Amino acid sequence: MAGLPRDEAGTAASYASLARPLLLPTWLIIGVFLLLPVLLMVVYSFLTKEFRGGVEWTFTLAAYEQFFVTRGLFGDEPPSIEWTYIIIFWRSIWQAALATLLCLVIGFPTAWFIATRPPQSRGIWLFLITIPYWVNLLIRTVSLRFILRDNGPLNDALIVTGLIDAPLPILNSDVAVQIGLFYSYLPFMVLPIYAAVERFEFALSEAAADLYANRWQVMLHVVLPAVRPGILAGTILVFIPALGAFLAPDLLGGAKAFMIGSLIDEQFRGSQGNWPFGAAISVILMTLVLIALFIQARAASRGAS
Amino acid sequence: MKRLLALTALAISAFSLQVTPGLAEGQLKVYHWFEYIPQELVDKFEKETGIDVTIDTFDSNEAMLASLKAGKLGQYDVTVPGDYMVEIMRNEGLLDSYTREEMPNFGNIAPEWVDAPFDPGRKHSIPYQWGSTAFSVNRDVYKGDISSLAIIFNPPDELKGKINVLDSQGEVLALGSIYLGIPQCTQDRVQLKALNDMLLAAKANWASFGSDTAKDVLVSGDAAAGMIYNGFSAKARAEGANVEYAFPKEGFVLWMDNMVLLKDAPNRANALKFMNFLLDPENAAAVTNYAAYNAGVKGVEPFLSDAVKKSPENNPPANQKGEFIKACDQETQKLYDAIWTNLKK
C-alpha cells in the first residue's frame, strides 16, 4: 500500500512507541497457551513411558520407533516398517481431504450466491448459514446419529418415497463419518470464500465477457484467481480440524477404526495409556500440517506475484 | 462429557464439604468416587460417632492413584479403588493394614469375598460394591439361547452387524480370553495368536465400539446385542428396552470396588470405625440401594429395596463364575496393547 494518505501514516507513527506494550498481552497468551504446550509435547515425546500412565525423565526415541518400526507381536522378528500407524494417518488424511473437497463443492456456489444478493439481504443469508453452529458440536454429532440410524428419519423418508426397500446401513460406516466431517466444517469454507467473492470487482468479469471470454474462461482466468485466497483459507480451516477430529469417527463411525484423533486420545486414557507415544503422534501430525501449510504459503505467494 | 461433569462436581464438592468445623471426636478424610455414597449414611455415621467426615471425590482409579502419589497420601484416611487398583496400590506401598481384632464386623464379609485375589485374606481392604460385565440381548430381535459368549464373538445370523462392544481394552480382551478359555496375562504365543485371530474375525460382525453409549444403543435399537456393565443393562431395562442380561456359561468379568485403609492415615482409628460401620448389613444395604450394585456383605437382604433385590442383573446364578480383570506385568501388557491396536487399526 504505497499511497497511504499523510494523516493515516501520521497516526500510525504516533502509536508506534506503544506497539510493544500493547502487544504484550498477545505475546503472553501465545507464549503461555501455544508455545509452552507445544514445547511440552515435544519434550514428552522423547521421554520414557512409565507403566500405567505418566513418564520417566529419561531420554529415548522409543515413541518414534514404535510409530515407524515393528518387530512383530512378540518383538523378536527382524525390524520392518510398521504400517499400522501409517494406515491410520492415511485414512484420516483421506477422510479430511474428501470432506474439504465436498465443503468446497457445496460451499463455493453457496458463498457465491450469498455474495451476489443485494447487500441488505446478505446478512440474513449468512445468519441462516451460522444458526446450526450455535449448537455445540457434540450435540450436533449425536443428532446426526439419530437422523442416520436404520430406523431414523432419513431411512424412513427414503422407504416411504419408495427409493429403497430396506434401510441403508449408513450409521457406523465411513460414509457416516464423512457426512459428519463435512457437515461440521462447512461454514469454515463458506465464510472465507464469501468474504473473497464479496470483494470481487464484477466489472472485471464483465470486461472479460466483453472481450469474448466464455463463461468457463471468465471463471477460470478472472474469478478464481481473485477469490483464491478465500478458497485457500477455507481449505485450511476445514482440512486441519477434520484431520484431528474424533467425535465423528467415534459417534458416527462406531469407533471401529482408529483415526489420528482417537489414536491420540487412547494414549492418554486409563491405565493402558502411553503418554510419550501420544505426544510423538501429535508431533508427527503437527509436522505434517506445518509442511502442508508451508507448501500452501509458497503456492499462495507464487499466485500473488 | 461424563468426565467433565464429574470434574465440575468434584470442584463444587471440594468447596462445599470442607467448611464443616471439626468436632470433638476428630475427623475422617474420605477420598471417594463421585455420587457413590448416600449423604444420609454419612450423616448417620457422624451422628453415631461424633466424627466429622470430609469427602473429596475423583472420577477414575488412575486419577486417584496419580493424585495420591503426587502428595495427597497422608491427607486421606480411606479411599475406594477398584479391584486391580487395590493390587497396584498394595504393590506401591500406599496401603496400611489392619488386624481382624480392629474390625469387629469382619465376619460380616461374604465368605466368597474374604480371600480376594487382589488382597488375599483382606488385610488392607473391605468390599464396598461389586458388579459384573457381560452382555445383553434385545429379546425382540433374538429369542434363542443367550447363555454363551458366542453371542458376541461368533454371533447367530440375526445379530450379525447389530452388536456393540465396549470401547475398553480391559473388558474386551478379558471377555475374549474367557470365551476361548485361555488365562489372562498369558505369554503363550499360540493362545495370544488365537485371541488375536478370534477378535479380528468377530469384529466383522460388530456394528460399533462404545462404552458411554453402551446403554443408549440398546435402548434406541441401533444395536440388538451388546457387551455391557450389569448396572447399565438394568437401566436399559428400566427405560423400556426388552433386553436380557446374560451370565454366560464360559464366565464373565467381575469388578469390585473396595474401601482401603491408606498408609499414613491422619485419623487411622476413625477410618477403622468407618470401615467397620460400612460392614454393618443395614449400612451396606443403604449403599447398595443407592448405587444399585451388590454389597459383598452377609445379611443385607432384609434391608434391600425390592427393585435391587429382584434385579436379574444383580443376581448371577450360583453355578456361574466371574473373574476379575488381571493387572499384567509390563512385558505382558505390551502384547495385549498390540492385540488391541491391531483390532482397531
CB contact burial A274-284 (16+ within 10 A = b; e otherwise):
bbbbbbbbbbb
pLDDT at position A6 is 54
Does the pLDDT of residue B302 top 50, yes or no? Answer: yes
At A208, is the pLDDT very low, low, confident or very high (cuts 50, 70, 90)? confident
Domain spanning B131-253+318-344, CATH class: alpha beta
Per CB-CB distance under 8 Å, the chain B contacts of A275 are: none
Per CB-CB distance under 8 Å, the chain A contacts of B327 are: 271
Alpha-carbon gap: A257 to the closest alpha carbon of chain B (Å): 5
pLDDT at position B125 is 97
Alpha helices in A244-272 (DSSP H): 247-251, 260-267
DSSP string, A50-78: PTTS-EEEEE--HHHHHHHEE--TTS-SP
Query: To 10 degrees, what angle do helices A224-243 and A174-199 make?
Result: 150
At A297, is the pLDDT very low, low, confident or very high (cuts 50, 70, 90)? confident
Q: Do B334 and A75 touch (CB under 8 A)?
A: yes
Mutate to test the interface with B, among A65, A90, A271, A277 (most CBs of B within 10 A): A271
Inter-residue contact B287 to B37 (CB < 8 Å): yes
Is B327 exposed, middle or buried (CB count within 10 Å of its CB: 0-12, 13-18, 19+)?
buried
List the one residue out of B179, B196, B181 whose CA is nearest residue B135: B179
Q: Which cell numbers hold the place of A242?
A: 477434520
Helix (H, G, I), strand (E, B) or coil at B125: strand
Q: Do B335 and A270 touch (CB under 8 A)?
A: no
pLDDT at position B75 is 95
Q: Which cell numbers hold the place of B94?
A: 500406599
Q: Do B221 and A151 touch (CB under 8 A)?
A: yes
- Mean of all residue pLDDT scores within chain A: 88
> Which pLDDT tens digit goes with each residue over B98-107?
999 999 999 9
pLDDT at position B299 is 93
The mean per-residue pLDDT over the stretch B38-62 comes to: 93
- Find the residue in A nearest to B1 (Cα): A138
Q: Do B333 and A272 touch (CB under 8 A)?
A: yes
Task: Indicate the residue of A138, A172, A271 with minimum beta-carbon distance to B207.
Answer: A172
- Say which residues have a Cβ less than 8 Å from residue B17's Cβ, sequence separation at least 6: B54, B55, B56
The mean per-residue pLDDT over the stretch A111-138 comes to: 91
The mean per-residue pLDDT over the stretch A222-240 comes to: 91
Alpha-carbon gap: A294 to the closest alpha carbon of chain B (Å): 29
Phi, psi of B255 (to 5 degrees): -135, 150
**DSSP β-bridge partners for residue B227:** B135
Phi, psi of B325 (to 5 degrees): -70, 130
- pLDDT higher at A262 or A305: A262
At B19, is the pLDDT very low, low, confident or very high (cuts 50, 70, 90)? very low
At A3, is the pLDDT very low, low, confident or very high (cuts 50, 70, 90)? very low
**DSSP for residue B137:** E
Task: State percent of chain B over pLDDT 70.
Answer: 93
> Which pLDDT tens digit goes with each residue over A19-35?
888 889 999 999 999 99
Distance between CA atoms of residues B60 and B82, nearest Å: 9
| Beta strands at B322-324 and B125-138: parallel, antiparallel or unpaired | unpaired
- Find the residue in A nearest to B161 (Cα): A169
**DSSP β-bridge partners for residue B56:** B31
Say whether the ipTM exceeds 0.90: no
The mean per-residue pLDDT over the stretch B163-170 comes to: 92
Q: Which cell numbers hold the place of B343?
A: 483390532
pLDDT at position B52 is 95
Query: To 10 degrees, what angle do helices B39-49 and B268-278 make?
Result: 120
Alpha-carbon gap: B108 to the closest alpha carbon of chain A (Å): 32
Does the pLDDT of residue B8 top 70, yes or no? Answer: no
- Find the residue in A nearest to B170 (Cα): A272
pLDDT at position B213 is 87
The mean per-residue pLDDT over the stretch B154-180 comes to: 94
Q: Do A87 and B345 touch (CB under 8 A)?
A: yes
- Find the residue in B nearest to A253 (Cα): B208
Per CB-CB distance under 8 Å, the chain B contacts of A250 are: 167, 210
**CB contact residues (below 8 A), chain B span 253-312, against chain A:** none
**B91 lies within 8 A of chain A by CB:** no
- Find the residue in A nearest to B166 (Cα): A255
Task: Indicate the residue of A73, A84, A254 with minimum beta-carbon distance to B208.
Answer: A254
pLDDT at position B10 is 47
- Mean of all residue pLDDT scores within chain B: 89
**B343 lies within 8 A of chain A by CB:** no
Q: Do A258 and B344 touch (CB under 8 A)?
A: yes
pLDDT at position A127 is 92
CA distances from B98 to B68, B111, B283 (A): 20, 18, 21
Does the pLDDT of residue B51 top 70, yes or no? Answer: yes
Alpha-carbon gap: B309 to the closest alpha carbon of chain A (Å): 32
Task: Indicate the residue of B167, B170, B335 with minimum beta-carbon distance to A73.
Answer: B335
Inter-residue contact B259 to B245 (CB < 8 Å): no
Task: Indicate the residue of B1, B161, B338 with minimum beta-carbon distance to A138.
Answer: B1
Alpha-carbon gap: A188 to the closest alpha carbon of chain B (Å): 25
pLDDT at position B23 is 44
Task: Indicate the residue of B65, B170, B189 with minimum beta-carbon distance to A74.
Answer: B189
Distance between CA atoms of residues B215 and B247, nearest Å: 17
pLDDT at position A98 is 96
Alpha-carbon gap: B195 to the closest alpha carbon of chain A (Å): 12
Q: Which cell numbers hold the place of B76?
A: 486421606
User: What's the one-letter identity of residue B116?
Assistant: A
At B186, is the pLDDT very low, low, confident or very high (cuts 50, 70, 90)? very high
Distance between CA atoms of residues A104 and A98, nearest Å: 10
Phi, psi of B243 (to 5 degrees): -105, 145
pLDDT at position A91 is 92
At B18, is the pLDDT very low, low, confident or very high (cuts 50, 70, 90)? very low
Q: Does domain A103-254 have CATH number 1.10.3720.10?
A: yes
Alpha helices in B292-329 (DSSP H): 306-309
> Which pLDDT tens digit goes with each residue over A247-274?
888 889 888 888 999 899 888 876 567 8
Does the pLDDT of residue B5 top 50, yes or no? Answer: no
Per CB-CB distance under 8 Å, the chain A contacts of B337 are: 272, 274
From A108-112, A123-127, A290-294, B3-7, the region with the lowest mean pLDDT: B3-7
Domain with CATH 3.40.190.10 in chain B: 2-128+257-314, 131-253+318-344
pLDDT at position B24 is 52
Q: Which cell numbers hold the place of A193?
A: 470464500
Query: CB atoms < 10 A from the CB of B50, how many?
Result: 11
Q: Do A53 and B66 touch (CB under 8 A)?
A: yes
At A1, is the pLDDT very low, low, confident or very high (cuts 50, 70, 90)? very low
Is B182 exposed, middle or buried (CB count within 10 Å of its CB: 0-12, 13-18, 19+)?
middle
**B170 lies within 8 A of chain A by CB:** yes
- Find the residue in A nearest to B84 (Cα): A271
> Which pLDDT tens digit goes with each residue over B90-132?
988 999 999 999 999 999 999 989 999 999 999 999 999 999 9
Does the pLDDT of residue A240 top 80, yes or no? Answer: yes
- Find the residue in A nearest to B188 (Cα): A74
Which is it for the CA torsion A135, A137, A139, A143, positive or negative? Answer: positive
**B138 lies within 8 A of chain A by CB:** no
pLDDT at position A122 is 92
Size of interface A-B (CB pairs under 8 A): 80
> Which pLDDT tens digit goes with each residue over B243-294?
999 999 999 999 999 999 999 999 999 999 999 999 999 999 999 999 888 9
Task: State percent of chain B over pLDDT 90.
Answer: 70
Distance between CA atoms of residues A212 and A238, nearest Å: 36
Q: Do B209 and A138 touch (CB under 8 A)?
A: no
Phi, psi of B340 (to 5 degrees): -65, -45
Instruction: Place domain B2-128+257-314 in its CATH homologous superfamily.
Output: Periplasmic binding protein-like II (3.40.190.10)
pLDDT at position B20 is 45
Per CB-CB distance under 8 Å, the chain B contacts of A270 are: 60, 62, 168-170
The mean per-residue pLDDT over the stretch B185-200 comes to: 95
Q: Do A53 and B62 touch (CB under 8 A)?
A: yes
Per CB-CB distance under 8 Å, the chain B contacts of A173 are: none
Task: Tell me the domain boundaries of chain A.
Answer: 37-82+268-305, 103-254
Distance between CA atoms of residues A63 and A41, nearest Å: 12
Which is it for the CA torsion A247, A248, A250, A255, positive or negative? Answer: negative
pLDDT at position A19 is 82
Per CB-CB distance under 8 Å, the chain B contacts of A278 are: none
Q: Do B61 and A271 touch (CB under 8 A)?
A: yes
Does the pLDDT of residue A206 top 90, yes or no? Answer: no
